[in-house]
């Protein structure tokens, strides 16, 4: 692994710094190493594709759920009509 020699100054809030420090400590690495690993793992195009897939799946399952609810309501209405006729 190459020795790090370049700096990238970033500004964060005190709360963000505290959160990063806690996550780094939990991972057993320095804050710098934690941020390097996070930056290396970030793949926005892959994340976007995954989110788009999740949204597509959510749209499909929502439509299926709505259809099932409509069918159940129709059944209940028909059932109530049958009960009223008795």
Distance CA 71, CA 65 (A): 10
Inter-residue long-range contacts of 73-76, CB under 8 Å, 24+ positions, other chains counted: none
Tens digit of pLDDT for each residue in 52-84? 999 999 999 999 999 999 999 999 999 999 999
Are both 55 and 76 inside the same structural domain? yes
Any residues with CB less than 8 A from the CB of 29 and at least 6 apart, and which?
A: 37
Counted domains in the chain: 2
pTM above threshold 0.95: no
Task: Please give the residue range of the domain that contains residue 27.
Answer: 12-42
What per-residue confidence (pLDDT) applies to 8?
Answer: 93
Distance CA 65, CA 69 (A): 6
Are both 27 and 57 inside the same structural domain? no
What per-residue confidence (pLDDT) applies to 86?
Answer: 87
């Amino acid at each position: 692994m190459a020795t790090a020699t370049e700096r990238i100054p970033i500004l964060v809030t005190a709360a963000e710094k505290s959160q990063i420090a806690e996550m780094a400590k939990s991972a057993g690495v320095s804050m710098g190493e934690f941020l390097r690993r996070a930056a290396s793992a970030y793949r926005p195009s892959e994340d976007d594709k995954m989110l788009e897939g999740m949204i597509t799946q959510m749209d499909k399952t929502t439509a299926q759920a709505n259809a099932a609810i409509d069918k159940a309501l129709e059944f209940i209405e028909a059932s109530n009509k049958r009960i009223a006729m008795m």
